[in-house]
Amino acid sequence: MKNILPILLLLLSTATVCAQEQTTLRDTLPAAMKVADRVQRVRADGYRIDPVKTRRVVSPLGSGDAIKYIQTLPGVAMGGEGGSAIYVRGGNMGSNLMTLDGMPLYGISHLLGFTTVYPGEVIGETEFHAGGFSSEEGNLTASHIRLQTKTGDFSSMHGEGSLTPFLASGSISAPIVKNKVSVLGSLRVSPIGLEYKAARGMINRYQDVLQDFGATVGDAFGKVTWKADPRNDLSLSLFGSLDRYSFVLGENSTDGMGWSNALANLSWDTRSVQAFDKLHTALSYNHHAGYQEQETVLDGSYNRYQLRSTLQEVTLLSTATKSWGRWTSQFGVKLRGARFNPGSSRRFDGSSYKDAEESPLVDSYIQTVLSTLHGQLEYQIPDKFLLRMAVRGNAYAYGVGGVGGQSGWLFHPEGSLTARVHLVRQFGVEATADALTQYYHTLEGIPLGMSIDMVVPSDATNPPEQALQGYAGVFGGFGAHTFRAGGFYKLMRNLVYYGDATQFFSSAQSGWHENISIGEGTSYGAEFLYEKDGDILSWRASYTWSKTDRLFPDLNHGRRFPAKYDRRHIANASLDWTILQRESLTLGFNTLFTYQSGSWDTLQDGALPGFFIGQKEWLSLPMISALNNYELPAYIRWDAALHLDIKGRRASHEVGLGVYNLLNRHNPFMLRYNPDTHAWNLISLLPIMPSLSWRITI
């Protein structure tokens, strides 16, 4: 099913410009946390991201998001062209955690991965952490993207709206009871299905694979906040997202795929307990589902296969904080009960749709409980010294109704350490260390490193992923300039590989659990970031050199091999320039250049002679010496955009006009072998693409 995605994305790009040609390669291929002091704006343990800067990142869809911005930070490698996948310091895509007000988002992508599901209009703060995690962060081994929503306005009503070629959104913030109760809501929908219908005739002139396409894409968010008194706040938030796609390939084949999220969160913050400065308590419900469907008619026989995976999770947590002098403490408890049903499948067979008989449902419900006690102690002398120690103790119960009747308990401690010393006011050294455990696996298949969108739990034979990592470096700054440079080392254990991903529809019936291999990996590298922040001119340059490998005993003859997205060199440079600034009008320019070493693929790099028994003719049998034995060409892209801000008496407008992939470079997405020409075709997705966005605030 994943092979459908590059086809569709290529077709959509032809709606604006002619699609790129394939490049033929012959068989001769060689194998921030924001603080008062500017010096501390760039830190090893986290970044706080400006929402305005995320919107102005040039995107094929017209408007950027936090993921697109994070892809330009050091230590972060991107996945496929234009997508939302990130690989942080050698971790897998499923090793990253994104939370919305503390609730995990297990399906983060919209529009086939080209943007994320969260509505940007309601996000107040975005933080990205890749090390030195705080005590309440857990069940991850690479990074945490923390999204904190705004609170509705308690005094007056205002709203926002935005429009791009692929997304339309609107939000409102208003008081229900003035100074007491407020509401915040947003709605986003995509017209991509209707746009395809309108442009189908033109699209079909460039291809004959896709006969029809349909899509339902959208998300909604609502939050009610009650200020009971100056010391107590109560809020209830609801969020839902839906991505559903259908593809008609020829006259006798229809494919479908999709995913959805449904979240509810009840939160209480109180400052009434004298022993603590603040006590935060929350009860949340989380439901994530993904499905794939295939319907074919062959030789008069009707067949339809459905595959569905679900995760339902209920979480209760409470965290208290207390400060005295230069000391700050934090401690709490988190209980998570989850019900997994990965790889549930059903088949329909018959002479026609009406006569099809339904096979028994194949599923395997697994229930787990993850209990975590955590604590944190921090000592800080502003602009001189910081030491933070965080510990977590996990008790994980699995197997109530589990696969093969398995059940049991697992216990794992975790810890994080952050230290920062200012040798002088403008310069210092810092270090982080983390011991991490992740109990939920996102399966990855062929090619190894590509997610197949199925989340499964750990158990005795499928142990939790674990990581040990450390970072050490220097930081400093002068005036509006800041920099950070350092190195990291990471060890990963219990990485999962789903061996039958190429035959996913048939193998799911025999059970996902038996087809998992367990491996390990290492990653190390150096990171550099330099920023200049100003009212007129701001710029940022980052560079990462890293090496990441994988080792699975039953793959590649037990030898280590490069990870799929082991991009050895990653360099990014961006610039924001305010060209014109008036009281009611601002004209600006922003640009981004990125260079990333190519990802890895597995290609035939030799041949062996052979023959069939009973036949005299010799055959040439393909030989592959190793997994990921070929590095694709480097990824190079240059984006640029103009943005115009107009402030009126009643409304403010933001207009963005950009160009994605200004060089029109044929960046590699995948390789496909053509047996007729005995050549490898290098498939590119996105050519030069204009982007347009408009936002209004009332």
CB count within 10 Å of CB 498 equals 24
Range from 31-40, 117-126, 205-214, 377-386 that averages highest in pLDDT: 377-386
* Confidence grade of residue 678 (pLDDT, cut at 50, 70, 90): low
Among the ranges given (18-32, 519-533, 584-598), the one the predictor scored with the smallest mean pLDDT: 18-32
Give 36 or 455, the one with higher predicted confidence.
Answer: 455
Q: Give the angle subtended at the CA of 494 by the CAs of 430 and 341, to the nearest 5°.
A: 115
Tokens of 368: 């787990």
Distance CA 602, CA 138 (A): 34
Dump pLDDT digits (tens) for 12-25.
444 434 434 444 34
CB count within 10 Å of CB 331 equals 19
Give 196 or 363, the one with higher predicted confidence.
Answer: 196
End-to-end alpha carbon distance in the chain: 43
Dump pLDDT digits (tens) for 380-406.
998 899 999 999 999 999 985 544 567
Q: Where are the alpha helices (DSSP H) in 128-275?
A: 192-204
Average pLDDT, the chain: 84
**pLDDT exceeds cutoff 80 at 574:** yes
- The beta strands (E) that lie in 507-648 are given as 516-532, 537-551, 561-562, 569-581, 585-596, 600-601, 606-610, 619-623, 630-631, 635-647
Among the ranges given (124-133, 151-160, 354-363), the one the predictor scored with the smallest mean pLDDT: 354-363
Look at residue 397 in the predicted model and tell me its pLDDT. 94
How far from 321 is each of 219, 330, 333, 374, 382, CA to CA, in Å?
Answer: 34, 4, 13, 12, 19
In words, the CATH class of domain 4-697 is mainly beta
- Please name the residues in contact with 580: beta carbons below 8 A apart, sequence gap of 6 or more: 586, 587
* Confidence grade of residue 29 (pLDDT, cut at 50, 70, 90): very low
Give the mean model confidence (pLDDT) for residues 346-358.
71
Look at residue 28 in the predicted model and tell me its pLDDT. 37
Look at residue 445 in the predicted model and tell me its pLDDT. 65
Q: Which amino acid is at 253?
A: S
Q: Which residues of 297-307 are buried (b: 16+ CB within 10 A; e: fewer)?
A: beeeebebbbb
Look at residue 352 in the predicted model and tell me its pLDDT. 67
Look at residue 302 in the predicted model and tell me its pLDDT. 76
Look at residue 155 in the predicted model and tell me its pLDDT. 94
Return the DSSP state at 46.
B
Give 328 or 617, the one with higher predicted confidence.
Answer: 328
Give 504 or 223, the one with higher predicted confidence.
Answer: 223
Percent of the chain topping pLDDT 90: 53
> By three-state DSSP, how is residue 385 classified?
strand
- Please name the residues in contact with 429: beta carbons below 8 A apart, sequence gap of 6 or more: 420, 421, 423, 472, 473, 474, 475
Look at residue 59 in the predicted model and tell me its pLDDT. 83
Among the ranges given (87-91, 180-184, 428-432, 684-688), the one the predictor scored with the smallest mean pLDDT: 684-688
**pLDDT exceeds cutoff 60 at 71:** yes
CA 364 to chain centre: 27
* Confidence grade of residue 30 (pLDDT, cut at 50, 70, 90): very low
Give 609 or 470, the one with higher predicted confidence.
Answer: 470
How far from 615 is each of 612, 619, 625, 630, CA to CA, in Å?
Answer: 6, 10, 27, 34
Look at residue 208 in the predicted model and tell me its pLDDT. 64
Q: Which residues of 587-624 are buried (b: 16+ CB within 10 A; e: fewer)?
A: bbebbbbbbbbbbbbbbbbeeeeeeeeeeeeeeeeeee
Dump pLDDT digits (tens) for 306-337.
888 899 999 999 999 999 999 999 999 999 99
Dump pLDDT digits (tens) for 508-518.
444 667 778 89
> By three-state DSSP, how is residue 398 classified?
strand
Look at residue 255 in the predicted model and tell me its pLDDT. 84
Percent of the chain topping pLDDT 70: 84
Dump pLDDT digits (tens) for 239-275.
999 999 988 876 677 888 889 999 999 999 999 888 8
Half-sphere exposure at residue 286, Cβ-oriented, CA atoms within 13 angstroms: 23
- Please name the residues in contact with 176: beta carbons below 8 A apart, sequence gap of 6 or more: 182, 183, 224
Dump pLDDT digits (tens) for 624-653.
778 888 888 999 999 999 999 999 888 999
* Confidence grade of residue 659 (pLDDT, cut at 50, 70, 90): very high
Look at residue 621 in the predicted model and tell me its pLDDT. 67
Distance CA 209, CA 14 (A): 14
Q: Which residues of 219-234 are buried (b: 16+ CB within 10 A; e: fewer)?
A: bebbbbbebeeeeebb
621 near 608, Cβ under 8 Å? yes
Among the ranges given (230-239, 402-411, 551-560), the one the predictor scored with the smallest mean pLDDT: 402-411
Distance CA 89, CA 567 (A): 11
Give the mean model confidence (pLDDT) for residues 418-439.
94
How far from 396 is each of 332, 467, 613, 634, CA to CA, in Å?
Answer: 17, 17, 54, 43
**pLDDT exceeds cutoff 90 at 488:** yes
